[in-house]
Every structure is written in C-alpha cells, then in structure tokens.
Structure 1
Amino acid sequence: MPNPAAPPPPSPAPPTASPSAPSDHPRACPACAGPVDPDPRFTAWCPACEWNLVPAEEAAEDCAKSAKELARERAAAERTERLFEEVAAGRADTTRRDWLAASALAAPVHAVTVAVAGAAGWLLVTGNTPLRCLGALLLAVAFLLRPRLGRVPSGTGVLGRSEAPALYGLADRVAAELGAPPVGVIRVTEDFNASMAVVGLRRRSVLTLGLPLWEALDDRQRIALLGHEFAHHVNGDNRRGLWLGSAMRALAHWYDLARPAERTRGGYGAVALLSLIGDYLGNAFLYLVSRLPYRAYLLLDRLTARAGQQAEYRADELGARVASTEAARAMLGSLLLGSAVGTVTMRLRAEIQSRPQSRSRSGQREAAPGPDVTDLWPQLREHLAAIPPLERERLLRRSRRYGHTVDASHPPTHLRLALLARHAPLPAAVTCPPAEAAAITAELAPHRTRIARTLLAG
C-alpha cells in the first residue's frame, strides 16, 4: 500500500479542540447531555455533538499549526474531496495532461545520470591522467545518482514457495482472477500494513505482508487485502512504473545525499570556531543544492497525485471484486485499528515483566507460568473482537476529521469506504477453504513467534 518516498499525508481540516475524557467515564455528555457509551475500556465521546471525539492532546497539535499550514491542508482536502466526487460520479478523467507533464519532468532526471556517466566514460577513454581521475570521480557520482530499482529481499521474513505453498497458492489465485502476474517473493514484517513493489532489472514483484494487519483480518478480508495489492499491477498506476517510479525514487535519493547533516558540537578555541563557521557555510551550500531535487520531487508528486489516488480507488474496486464488497469494506475499516496493536503489546509486555520469578531445582531463576510471546496474536484478535460498534464509529469519524490515510499516496480511508458503499454489492470470486487457511496459519507460525518477540521487546 505505501509509497515509501511519499511526503507526510495532509489533514483535511483543522479539528476543534476537545476536552479529554474525565477519569470517571461519564454516562451523559457534558456538552449536550446526550448518552455516552459507558464502556470504560474505550474513549468516552458523544456521537450526537462529537464531544471528546479527539482527545485534547491530539487536537492541540493541529491548534498549534500556523495559518499557512492550515490553509495548505484545507486546499489539499478540497482537491481530494473533488476527486472523490468525480470518481464516484464516473467523471474522473485519466489525467493524461498531468501524466505527460510528469513523464516530461522525469526525462531530465534520467538524462542527468546518463550525461554524467557519458562524460565519465569519455574522460576515462580519451583524457590524460588528470582527466581520467576526474572521469573516475564522475563515474562514482553517476553511480550515486543512478535510479534506484530496488532489490529482491532476502533473509529474515522472506518466504519461499517451498516454505509457504498454501500462501503462494492463494496469492496466485487472486492474481489470476485479476489478470496480474504471479508474485515473485512474499515477505512478512512487523508493520501494520501491506504493500506491493516491483524491483530489480528483472522487475520481480514483491508482496510485503505486515503480520499484525494480517492477524487482524479474517480469511475473507485477507483475500480483499491481497486483491488490493495485486490490483496495483492492473489499475494503471504509473507512479509504480519504471519510468516515473524510478525518477521519483532517484529525486528522493538525491535529496538525501544533498541535504545538510546535523553538526556534532564539541571542542573549544579557534579551531572549534573555524570548524563551526565551515559547518555553517557547508550546510548553507548543501541546503541550496538540495532544494532543486526537493522541489522537483514535490512537483512530480503533485502531478501524479491525482492519478495515483484514482488508481487506489480502482484497486479497492478490484479487491472488492475478488473478495466481495463486504469483505473489502471490512478490510479498509480494520486499517483504522492500528493503535490496537500497541495497546495489546504494551499490556502483554507489562504482564510478562510482572510475572513472579521462581527457582528451579538447579537453583536458576525461572519465570512462573503465565503469558508468553505467542499470546500476543490471540489477545490481539480478542481485543479487536471486543471493540464495540460505537468505538469503531468514533475512529471512523476521527479519520474523517483528520483525513486518516495509509500514506500520502492513498486517499483518506473514510472516502475509500464511502466509494465502495456507493457501488452495488459484489460476491466473492475467490474464497479460502478452512483447510487452506489452516495450512497458511501453519506456514506463518515461525514468523508469528519471531515478530511477537520483536514487538514485545519494544
């Protein structure tokens, strides 16, 4: 799902400050006297007037923003809303003009690398010794400036087809339903997310599954997640293509190379003063140099943002076609529950650390029987199942206020849910029988233990 080089997501509108929920968890709203959910495990809020929809500490962050920042966020929110209405009404175009402008902007990005490499080669072949040294330096620069195509991951978390035949089999069925190529590599991480990337010169696809998100979904929702990710091969998202995608990654890398580094302070006397002046002058020069790739990246991102969000809406529709509209909506709703992972993790970590210690016959200290790292996933599913509808509604309204997105390349989650609600319900085209689901669970068992240990280690 994520676009790794994308800037932070915008917030549609500045929320109004809300008071924190009182410690006694009121049963009546102090603002309008409406009923408040009495469940003390979750935030007390009023669905009628939205009192305490957003805790005060979160609202204070937006209240501290400047008028310029708020105006920029409002403008971005308005553009996002307009695009949603156009897509929902079937009036959104293919943004060919923006795509052509972005492709034209990507050309000089690639041309810079080619020109530097060509100059280096010419100097190395035809130049004298000093010019050949310069050519070698330019060749090193060209290597640093080269477009990043990504690498096929290996090592911890990577599943081969022989290790996970059931998971690969399900993924292949989803890909075939959408007309997408089969996945090359699947890896499992500790993130509450999922993504699809195409990497390397051979353009192999890499499916990344965040295990906390996978564990939070049921079998139908997991198919919807796979459907959304494989849809990126067929939804016309040019941002993920070789030409535009590598140009955006190259600009992000150029900016990282050129941006000023933080100075390590230390030392006394004239030498320290000269070093400080040199650092300031060098950082000022690097700041000016880094502005060009930074601004070029922002322009390229702006030109492709509209088409990218259209592609995400299209991926949601294709995911619904594979797994059913109901499963796709439930999967998107689960994206709002990422904080539950932190809640359960902290609670289980505290339980494990508070276990009394006992001594074995050999005299070594051993933990008394109690919760273990493998309890994380059952407790997470238990916690998610216990979240009442009113709390889910609060999270949805909160996402509407803040414009919750998976990342900046995605439309706000509440708009993605709203668009699916406007379509006629679709049945599932791909299902996962219980035996296959059990096999996938067994294949992921070692990674569940490893990732649970990583999360609980903090």
Structure 2
Amino acid sequence: MPNPAAPPSSAPASPSAPPSADRPRSCPACSGPVDPDPRFTAWCPACEWNLVPAEEAAEECGKSPKDLARERAAAERTERLFQEVAAGRTDTTRRDWLAASALALPVHAVTVAVAGAAVWLLVTGNTPLRCLGALLLAVAFLLRPRLGRVPSGADVLKRGEAPALYGLADRVAAELGAPPVGAIRVTEDFNASMAVVGLRRTSVLTVGLPLWEALDDRQRIAVLGHEIAHQVNGDNRRGLWLGSAMRALAHWYELARPAERSRGGYGVVALLSLIGDYLGNAFLHLVSRLPYQAYLLLDRLTARAGQQAEYRADGLGARVASTEAASEALETLLLGPATGTVTMRLRAEIQSRPRSGRRDAAAGPDVTELWPQLRAHLAAIPPLERERLLRRSRRAGHAVDASHPPTHLRLALLARQAPLPAAVTCAPDEAAAVAAELAPHRTRIARTLLAG
C-alpha cells in the first residue's frame, strides 16, 4: 500500500502559524465561506475554488496534450472497471489473463532455449563451440527470471524477536485463509506492501513505520489484512509465472538500455569514440525496444485484473478489521506528506539547538521526539482539510501507484458495501507488546529520517 501523491500543502506548517494577511474571508467565485484555518490551504467546499493551489495547477497545465490524452484514456478505463466491479461483473478480464500467460511463455522460453543451447555446446562441441557455450551460459544467467530473495539485515524482524507482531499477522492470515507471513520488514517509508520471493515463495510483509505510527490499532489490522490478502485475492501478477516474466522483461530492458555517451579525449580519438557511442547506442536502443514494448503489453493485459485484485484485497481487509477501519486507513494514506513536514521541522529544530561539550555532540539528536510529534501533527489536521485532500484525490485520480485503483474509488467501493464488523481485534496488552518489539526500529528509523 504505497503512499499516493499528495500536495505538500496538505499538512499544517505549524499548529501556531499566524493567519495570512491576504487570506480571503469568503470565496471569490461564489461568495461562500472559506476554510478559516490559517494553517491550511484556503478553499471553498461549496464550489471547490482553490481545491488545487495555483502552483500545483501550474504543474498540471505544463503537461503535453499527448500526456493529458493518455491520462484521460486511463481514467476512463479505470472508471469502467470500477463500475464493473461495483456491479459484480468481474469475468471480463479472463481473456486478458490468458493472453498475458501466453505472452509470458516466450519470455521464459528464451531463457530456457539459451541455457539449453549453452549446455548442448558445452557437452558436444569442440573447443571454440565450448567457448561459445560458456558465453551463452553467462547470457542465460543474465536473462534468468528474478525471483527475489528473502531479506536480511537490521530492518528484518525475526519471529523470535517479535512474537506479538507475528502472532497478530498470523491471526489475520488465519482469518483470510492465507499462509502465515514468512518475514516482516520495518522501513522508513509511509507505506506497506507484500511480496512473495525465492524458490520457496516466501511471503515478505513490509511495514513502513511512519504509516504504522499514523494509524490506530484497528487501522493497523486493516493494513495487515489488505497486504496479507494479496496471497488469496487471485492477483496472478504476483505469481511465479507472470510475476517472474514481468521482472525478467524489466531486467532485460535495463541490460540493453543505451548507456550515457563517454566524454573525454581530443581530436580523432574523441571523434571515433563519439561515432562508436552513437552507433552502439542506436543499436542498443533498437534492441531494448523489444523487451520494453513486451513489458508494456504484459502490464496492460494484467492491469485490469490487478486492480480487481486490489479492490478484493480492500474488501478482505474490511472483513478482518471492519469497513470503518479499512476506510480510515485508506484516508490516512492521503496524509503521507505530513510525515515529511514533521521530519523537516524537527530536523531544523534539532540542528538549531546549541550543543555543549563532547557528550552532547556524540549523543546525536533526541530521536524520541519524532513519533509523538508525528501523531500530534496528523491529529491536528481537521476534517475540512481531510475533505479537501479527498476531493483533490478524486479530481486528479490519484492512486498509490499504477497498479492500484484511485484511492477515492477504493473508498467509494467500500462505502457501497454493507458495513462489516471487525473479525480480528488487538487487545491493549497485545498492542503494548507489539510496540515494545518495534521500539528498537522506532529509534533506528527516527534517527535515519532526522539525519536526512
């Protein structure tokens, strides 16, 4: 559940910010009342005047007609899919999945063919052919599908280190009929995600601590439910066949993509180098177009079903934590830039404090201040500003990324469904145990964020 784009102005600059002298008291378009809070963007809820501030609107106007037409077409496809899902019509993507699976076949066949040819030359060929076989074997190694690997390092929580958090995730997985989570990572991002990696297809849950700290216990369970639901929501894009084919195509493109021109040299040497770079890059450009276009086609074929799977994961998250908690968690995603506001402000405050003696200099910043300030900062955002962010998201069609439906459509689909109660809850003692397990990571991540 990566963080959607949202304007930097969506968060208060400071709870004690003075009112602006030129702030309008009424809407210049309809004379309706304007948001009186001086900490936030002045806008009119009645006619949506200044819903998108001028500087952000200028960025939108800078887009080319081709980009705008592409965005409109994508928005229309997304809206049609939403209507289909809302009406219960979800069978139209089966032919797309079949076409995508068929397209993945030659991707995997290329690697198998190159590897098979390499082995055949190594076994049956003479010395020159064996050298060619070794070269082909190296090429096959470069072309192999990337399955990912189970992460390790300071950001990974092992089961023995976090029995309460793993226990909570296991209860969510059991409620959804999903396998237990294999590993949990804690990062500094305002998001959460689920991946399945390695030959053993180990599930890896990544939790961004800033997002975790911005949520309450009910909303945290909703996020866990959404991410763990990706193991049972029919999202074949994450599966071994299609997922590895898409990652292989992306890697092939990176391998074949032209490099920057070399610089340096004088006279004839520089001219020959320039010509060589030009011809080589022109050839690589042609070669790289094939995996690039194949990736775009595969992505296009799987996009509809991938978005359907996201809607289904939202529904499963609501079943686990309640519809209300799932909707609140989605709305919180719009507040992601507020974490950056808090971090920059606290970093500036810490840097401006005088230090006395070597002990203070070695101690570093007081990172324990970040999380309470973040929670207070988000709690200070009033409903009217949250409504502005939601309407802005609706107008711009903001989504967490290209694989997700727009956030406002996800909220709209949850609102159309019958409200569900929570199937999994977190008792106060369990929440306290989870917080204690995350304490070292809370310090580590706060230090990383404040260090810039």
TM-score relative to the length of structure 1 = 0.93
Map of 1:171-250 to 2, 5 A cutoff? 171-250=169-248
TM-superposed CA distance for 1:368, in Å, is: 13
Q: Deviations over 1:390-447 (max 9, x none)?
A: 1101111111122111111100000000000001110000000000000000100110
1:424 maps to 418
User: What is the CA distance between 1:295 and its match in structure 2?
Assistant: 0.4
Q: Percent identity?
A: 88
Structure 1 residue 23, shift from structure 2 partner: 6.2
Q: State the alpha-carbon separation in 2 of the partners of residues 420 and 414 from structure 1.
A: 10
CA 1:367 to 1:124, structure 2 compared with 1: closer, same or farther past 3 Å?
closer
Residue 266 of structure 1 and its aligned partner are, at CA, apart by 2.7
Amino acid at match of 2:393: S
Is the aligned partner of 1:451 residue 2:445? yes
1:159 to 151, 157, 160: 157
SS at match of 1:205: strand
Cα 1:41–1:393 shift into 2, 3 Å: same
Q: 1:367 to 1:97 in 2, by over 3 A?
A: same
Confirm or deny that 1:409 pairs with 2:403: yes
CA shift in 2, pair 1:23/1:148, >3 Å: farther
Over 3 Å counting, the alpha-carbon distance change for 1:431 and 1:257 in structure 2 is same
**Cα deviations across residues 350-375 of structure 1 (Å, max 9, x unaligned)?**
1101112334xxxx473699972111
Amino acid at match of 2:346: L
The range that moved more, 435-444 or 262-271, is 262-271
Partner of 2:377: 383
Match of 1:14 in 2: none
Counterpart of 2:432, as a letter, is A
What residue is the counterpart of 1:290 in the other structure?
288
Instruction: Give the letter aligned to residue 47 of structure 1.
Output: P
Supply the AA of the counterpart residue of 2:315. Answer: E
Partner Cα separation in structure 2 for residue 445 and residue 213 of structure 1: 15
CA contact (8 A) 2:235 2:306 kept: yes
In the alignment, the residues of structure 1 paired with residue 79 and residue 21 of structure 2 have an alpha-carbon distance, to the nearest angstrom, of 37
Query: Which digits, 9 at most, give the CA deviation of each residue in 1:89-122, with x for residues without a partner?
Result: 1123251111100000000000000000000001
Counterpart in the other structure of 1:393: 387
The offset of 1:45, in angstroms, is: 1.3
- Counterpart residue number, 2:38: 40
The reply on whether 1:55 has 2:53 as its aligned counterpart is: yes
Per-residue CA shift, 1:26-85, capped at 9, x if unaligned? 222223222111212111111122222112222222211111111111010000001101
The gaps in structure 2 that reach 5 residues or longer are: 6-18
Distance 1:176 1:368, change over 3 A: closer
Q: Secondary structure at the match of 2:282?
A: helix
* Structure 1 residues 188 and 23, CA gap change in structure 2 (3 angstroms): farther
Q: Could you say if the C-alpha distance between residues 369 and 106 of structure 1 is closer, same or farther in structure 2, counting changes exceeding 3 Å?
A: closer
Tell me: CA distance 1:135–1:368, structure 2 relative to 1, closer, same or farther (3 Å): closer
Matched residue of 2:360: which SS?
strand
The structure-2 alpha-carbon separation of the partners of 1:156 and 1:38, relative to structure 1 and needing over 3 Å to count, comes to same
Show the 5 A alignment for 1:352-391.
Answer: 352-359=350-357, 364=358, 366=360, 372-391=366-385
SS at match of 2:186: strand
Secondary structure of 1:427's counterpart equals coil
Separation in structure 1 between the aligned mates of residue 445 and residue 356 of structure 2, nearest angstrom: 27
Looking at structure 2, the residues matched to 22 and 237 of structure 1 have their Cα atoms a distance apart, in angstroms, of 49
CA distance in 2, matches of 1:97, 1:357: 66
Q: Does the aligned pair in 2 maintain the 1:259–1:287 contact within 8 Å? A: yes
The counterpart of 2:433, out of the listed 423, 426, 439, is 439
Answer whether contact 1:216 1:334 (CA < 8 A) is retained: yes
RMSD, matched Cα? 1.9
Sort the Cα spacing of 1:325 and 1:123 in 2 relative to 1 into closer, same or farther, 3 A: same
2:8 alignment counterpart: none
Alignment length, in residue pairs?
Answer: 439
Matched residue type, 1:195: S
Aligned to 2:12: none
Q: Given the superposition, is the C-alpha separation of residues 368 and 265 from structure 1 closer, same or farther in structure 2, using an over 3 Å criterion?
A: closer
Asked whether the equivalents of residues 2 and 190 of structure 2 are also in contact (C-alpha less than 8 Å), the reply is no
1:366 counterpart SS class:
helix
Alignment correspondent of 2:112: 114
- 1:134 paired to 2:128: no
Q: Distance in 1 between matches of 2:362 and 2:440?
A: 24
CA–CA distance in 2 between the matches of 1:105 and 1:22?
58
2 CA distance for matches of 1:447 and 1:279? 47
Q: How far apart, CA to CA, are the structure 2 residues paired with 1:366 and 1:300?
A: 56
| Alignment check: 8 A CA contact 2:262 2:274 kept | no
Q: SS in structure 2 opposite 1:81?
A: helix
Matched, 1:69 2:64: no
Mapped to 2, the partners of 1:262 and 1:275 lie a distance apart of 12
- Structure 1, unmatched stretches of 5+, are 10-20
CA distance in 2, matches of 1:78, 1:149: 34
CA drift of 1:163 comes to 0.3
* 8 Å CA contact 2:310, 2:404 repeated in 1: yes
**8 Å contact 2:173–2:228 — kept in the other structure?**
yes
Report what 1:259 is aligned to: 257
Q: Aligned partners of 1:433, 1:62: CA distance in 2, in Å? A: 46
Structure 1 residues 351, 413: CA separation in 2 closer, same or farther (over 3 Å shift)? same
CA contact (8 A) 1:2 1:409 kept: no
Distance (Å, rounded) in 2 between the aligned partners of 1:171 and 1:345: 29
Distance 1:62 1:371 in 2: 39
**Distance in 2, Cα, partners of 1:207 & 1:311:** 17
